[in-house]
A and B are shown apart, each in its own frame.
Chain A
Amino acid sequence: MIFTMNRKFIFLLIALIVLMALPFVAEAIGESYVISSMTRVLIFAMAAVSLDLIVGYGAMVSFGHAAFVGLGAYVAAILSFHVNEAIPVFNFPFSYDGSNNLLLILLVAMLVAALVAAVTGLISLRTHGIHFIMITLAFAQMLYYLFISLDTYGGEDGLLMQGRNQLPVIDTSDDRSFYFLCLFILAVYIVLALRLVNSQFGRVIQGCKLNEKRMQALGFNTYWYRLTAYIIAATGAAVAGVLLANKTEYVDPGLFSWHLSGELLVMVILGGLGSIYGAVIGAIVYLLLEQILSAYTEHWMFYLGPILIFVVIFARNGLYGLLQKRLNGHA
């Protein structure tokens, strides 16, 4: 047991060292664009972890998770837009000028996502299975069209940010600092997620996945537990959205679309449903494959498809499932 703990610990340590050293290596060999694309990977990893909390642990297959990424991104873009344009966000009941403070924006984004998740979750969590997939998709598409219609914020063209949101001490406009910020937030989020799935609440959510009828017969009001999990997952996606907007300094309604929701689902399934590290690995592998394959052909999806099918058929627990066998020292 101690031996397997060690192997896992060593693996994590190596992964962390590689991720910490990456920007310096990239700069040293003059390939600093790597920093930017790895930042993107870290952000998507966070969104994938948040999705895995409900899909992998709670069997709530949301096909609209991108909506919360989009909301987070737009909160960042809109609040800083108002500061830069010197137009108040709203005048009633008090006047609010917007903000460029990243911490405040993260907080607002999480609140907005939680609120939207609470409202949409109240309705969508009355359903299960394919109906849940469809209703979450529908809500996300509603938001997609809502933001297309918001001409103030660029409508279909999206909204360009004038620089990143700011933090005290850390210079977010520096790509390397921003990379480390994203790495730090992802690491914190992974710790929180691991605690969550190992808590009493996490056990209840997994019970709802395995046998909801039995959970109710035991005395659990499964609806509220599932709704809470749904809201928690939404706030995680919103944080990823804020970081994504800051990374590209640009948002557009495409962030809400089912393409992104689908990509997040693929990452989670590729890495292995129901494991936090799996979601991270899924995001890394998916985005790296995308980048490598798209360098050779614009039809990279054509080659990615078979790889996904292969993984789903031959590794039921995803890539992390394969890795875990090795880490545990026996096949």
Chain B
Amino acid sequence: MPDIILYTKNLCKSYAGLQANTDLNIQLIQGEIHALIGPNGAGKSTAIAQLSGELVPSSGSIYFNGKDVTLMPVYERARMGLSRSFQVTSVFEEMSVQENLALAIQAHHGHSFYFWAAIQKNKLLNQQAAELATQFGLLEHLDLAAGALAHGEKRQLEIALTLAGNPQVLLLDEPMAGIGPGGSKELTRLLDGLRGQYSILLVEHDMDAVFALADRISVLVYGELIATGTVQEIRANEEVQKAYLGVST
């Protein structure tokens, strides 16, 4: 039995009678890249929001590292090592790339109630920010405002913020959204390089990326999980084909 780092038990979320997630039982194995796919409105973003703590589940529970985190606030989960990226790029547009990265790193340096020392002179923060920038090919843009980055670079910054502070689990909400084929190839390569270091739950519409990256795939339709398996199993699954992949048999 492999180590399961994050799992849900009968997770449900409904909005005013509309069932967005029904009895979700997702298991994320340590070190795997697990893709969560499904048509628009299937409840993927709702699932991510519940896992990260932005939405409180209607019922059911979430376990992270064996601990019940169902009611734990977002920031506490983040500090425990459960880190998410956003579908709509969510960086600090008015801050420079360097400041963005330093802020993300600072979040994992204990508290930030330091009122006197100039932050630009914090060697540890600067060094770690530079390392992170190098890893994501952002080194030459360190002093550029994040808002001035090209879309693809902004998506990379988004992932870089998520990775700061060495989380254990990454919840990536459509990291490829809107970056075009070239960008998504590069980001696929980058995510592939993270394999094994992190356990990744990947919500993604780009099926090339999903098939290239995923160790396992879960398929969500109308808020319910209809199948979980390896790429081959999911490709061969008739129910999935009918509901989502649209391949006629």
| Interface positions of A (Cβ within 8 A of B) | 195-196, 198-204, 206-207, 210-211, 213-222, 225, 228
Contacts and interface: CB of A to CB of B under 8 A. Distances in A.
B52 A217 contact: yes
B92 A201 contact: no
Contact of A217 (B74, B106, B112): B74
Contact of B92 (A196, A210, A216): A210
Interface string B78-118: 11000110100011111100010011101110001111111
Nearest to B95: A210
A216 B90 CA distance: 12
Given A199-B115, A216-B75, A217-B78, 12 more contacts: A195-B118, A196-B116, A198-B120, A203-B119, A204-B103, A214-B92, A215-B107, A216-B73, A218-B104, A220-B112, A221-B73, A225-B112
A216 B74 contact: yes
B119 A199 contact: yes
A214 B74 CA distance: 10
B169 to A, nearest CB: 13
Nearest to A206: B95
Nearest to A205: B112
Contacts of A196: 115-116
Contact of B122 (A200, A201, A206): A200
B152 interface: no
B155 to A, nearest CB: 14
A228 B119 CA distance: 18
A217 B119 CA distance: 21
Contacts, number: 95
A284 to B, nearest CB: 26
B118 A198 contact: yes
A194 to B, nearest CB: 10
Contacts of B94: 210
A203 B106 contact: yes
Interface of B: 52, 54, 73-76, 78-79, 83-84, 86, 90-95, 99, 102-104, 106-108, 112-120, 122, 161-162, 164-165
B156 to A, nearest CB: 16
A204 B95 CA distance: 12
A218 B117 contact: no
A200 B114 contact: yes
A219 B165 contact: yes
A215 B79 CA distance: 12
Contacts of B74: 216-217
Nearest to A196: B115
A19 B75 CA distance: 47
A203 B99 contact: yes
A7 to B, nearest CB: 20
Contact of B114 (A201, A207, A216): A201
A221 B115 CA distance: 17
Contacts of B76: 219, 221
Nearest to B83: A217
A219 B95 CA distance: 18
A218 B119 contact: no
B107 A219 contact: yes
Contacts of B122: 200
A182 B15 CA distance: 57
Between B75, B76, B83, B117, the greatest number of chain A beta carbons within 10 A of the residue's beta carbon is seen for B75
B83 A204 contact: no
16 contacts: A195-B115, A196-B115, A200-B114, A200-B117, A203-B119, A204-B103, A207-B92, A211-B91, A215-B75, A217-B78, A217-B83, A217-B84, A218-B165, A219-B75, A220-B75, A220-B112
